[in-house]
Structure 1
Amino acid sequence: MATETSTPAAPAVHGRPSDSALAAGLDALETPIVNPRPSFAVSVWRSAWPVLAALAALVVVWQVAYTLELKPPYALPSPADTWQTFVSTVQDGTAWLAMSTSVRRAAVGFVLSVVVGVAIGTALAASQLLRRAFGPIITGLQSLPSVAWVPAAVIWFGLTDATMYAVVLLGAVPSIVNGLLTGTDQVPPLFLRVGQVLGARGWTRIRYVLLPAALPGFLGGLKQGWAFAWRSLMAAELITVAIGGGLGQLLDTGRSLNDMSLVIVSIFLIFLVGIAIELIVFSPLERAVLHSRGLTGQTSSTGRRK
């Protein structure tokens, strides 16, 4: 630990720093960088004000376009009319019912996708033969639009929630598998050698060495998997409106009624759920994982990592 002293450093000898100067420099390197953490309110405001400013700018542009009548009012309603539609859908419970139905379906489908994706990804990471055989297929499935699975899922499972879950699984699992494989590829070989020296073999090596070390990289795959799951569900709800419920059906209702205000409100609610899941689930999870591994770069006033 660096100590403060008033003793001046010895002069350099023949252009080279003296031993005391070198020691002072090394002590300075060990001096902790104190980064006081801002309060919760300040952190929230710092994160929120750029987004709020951007949304305000979009609303201004929207109002200008409405005033200039770039589109007929039925195709481009005013922000005030859209706000009234939003308030009415919230007050009569339509928005809450649609959001809760979609979030429930997405949550169940995503949990199943994580279970299946981790199982497949672990098997591919443990066997180079399986990875060479199925790796390109997983990548191809990831590039396939999830909406293409909707007709097949309807034929397989009929107009039930199982169709929604099947589409979510087929849309999210490839991203989760590739995310896990990417995380395992980033594991330093030294970790694996140390685990081998300590006797970690087979499932023990995977459970206690490979998967924990791959977790930071795997989080990116989970976030991408959620994005694919949410988009897949919206596509399924939009096409299979006969199943009922969900934000996708609310969006299709606005289209059927030629109610652009309801269409915009539905799009906003879909966007809102996506942002909320990111802020409530994935951002805290990512911070917790990075904090547990000392990757946040924050130190307390005592010099210890926070």
Structure 2
Amino acid sequence: MIWELVYKIGVDVLSIWKPYTFPSPVDVIKSLYFLSIDNTLLIAVGASMERLMIGYLLSVIIGIPLGILIVRYKYVGENIKSIILGLQTLPSICWLPFAILWYGLSEKTIIFVIAMGSIFAISIATEGAINNVYPLYIKAAKTMGAKGFKLYLNVVMPASLPSIIAGLKQGWSFAWRALMAGEMLVATKGLGQVLMIGRDLADISQVLAVMIVIIAIGLLLDNVVFGRIEASIRQKWGLEVKL
């Protein structure tokens, strides 16, 4: 209602802006409807989610072991951690020209950008989670004979799991942003490409409609997937406190 009121005042009453620069909610709903009935939106969401899952899975497979290596081996940590911190600050879109030179305009390019956008965030989060494990847990495990792989498997990793999940959640947000950046420049189908088509057609309603879909998917995954996993783990470890 506020959106429609602002539109009416700005466009019809004061003529501050034109309808093609600031759409009404009705026009955006119409765009969502038309994108849905011809399956454009469904195909785009399916393509985007497939790329996201592949790229994010690769970042988890690489990022978590990398974080463990940084903690486990002092030499690796001293020489690699600063490089990883530097690469983490690099915007994901910066990897796109690099990926195009390697893979051309293909699916591998987008997946590479997604993975590079989240690997370092996950590895740094894993390293921080392990370093913040309560030392008494490790000392108690060692007195019982746990060491090496068993110590990490049975004590360190379970104790650091709540913080690692928070890092995975952060890595997913980086992966989601990297996906949109890659699709807007490389993909032939996907939410990013539909967004760019709206821009090329000067259809601000379609642009805003796709942006709303992107936000909705992000909130849905955050609450349904990561939110439930995080709440379950926090409750299991007695970290869920009601104030």
Shift of residue 138 of structure 1? 0.9
Amino acid at match of 1:119: P
TM-score normalised to structure 1 length = 0.75
| Structure 1 partner of 2:205 | 261
Structure 1 distance, partners of 2:9, 2:195, is 25
Quick check: 1:208 aligned with 2:154? yes
Structure 2 distance, partners of 1:60, 1:142, is 42
What secondary structure does 1:77 align onto? coil
229-238 vs 193-202, greater mean Cα deviation: 193-202
Shift of residue 66 of structure 1? 3.8
CA contact (8 A) 1:63 1:79 kept: no
Structure 1: runs of 5+ lacking an equivalent? 1-55, 299-306
| Structure 2 partner of 1:129 | 75
Structure 1 distance, partners of 2:221, 2:80, is 31
| Structure 2 partner of 1:251 | 195
| Structure 2 partner of 1:44 | none
| Structure 1 partner of 2:104 | 158
What secondary structure does 1:268 align onto? helix
| Structure 1 partner of 2:49 | 103
- Structure 1 residue aligned with 2:166, among 216, 220, 228? 220
Identity percentage of aligned residues: 33
| Structure 2 partner of 1:282 | 226
Structure 2: runs of 5+ lacking an equivalent? none
> Aligned in 2, Cα 1:59/1:209: closer, same or farther, shift over 3 Å?
farther
| Structure 1 partner of 2:22 | 76
Amino acid at match of 2:230: E
Q: Which string of whole-angstrom CA distances, capped at 9 and with x for unpartnered residues, describes residues 51-76 of structure 1?
A: xxxxx545544554344432211111
Looking at secondary structure, tell me which structure has more helix per residue.
2
Amino acid at match of 1:244: T
Amino acid at match of 1:246: G
Q: Which string of whole-angstrom CA distances, capped at 9 and with x for unpartnered residues, describes residues 136-193 of structure 1?
A: 1111111001000001101111222111111011100001011111211221111111
Q: Which string of whole-angstrom CA distances, capped at 9 and with x for unpartnered residues, describes residues 264-300 of structure 1?
A: 11111111111111011100001110111122236xx
| Residue-pair matches, total | 241
Q: Which string of whole-angstrom CA distances, capped at 9 and with x for unpartnered residues, describes residues 177-224 of structure 1?
A: 111112112211111111111111111111111111111111221111
What secondary structure does 1:217 align onto? helix
> Aligned in 2, Cα 1:297/1:246: closer, same or farther, shift over 3 Å?
same
- Structure 1 residue aligned with 2:92, among 115, 138, 146? 146
Amino acid at match of 2:240: T
Structure 1 distance, partners of 2:7, 2:151, is 56
| Structure 2 partner of 1:6 | none
1:1-306 alignment to 2 at 5 Å? 57-58=2-3, 60-67=5-12, 68-240=14-186, 243-297=187-241
> Aligned in 2, Cα 1:187/1:151: closer, same or farther, shift over 3 Å?
same
> Aligned in 2, Cα 1:127/1:295: closer, same or farther, shift over 3 Å?
same
Structure 2 distance, partners of 1:57, 1:194, is 59
Q: Which has the larger radius of gyration?
A: 1
Q: Which string of whole-angstrom CA distances, capped at 9 and with x for unpartnered residues, describes residues 32-64 of structure 1?
A: xxxxxxxxxxxxxxxxxxxxxxxx545544554
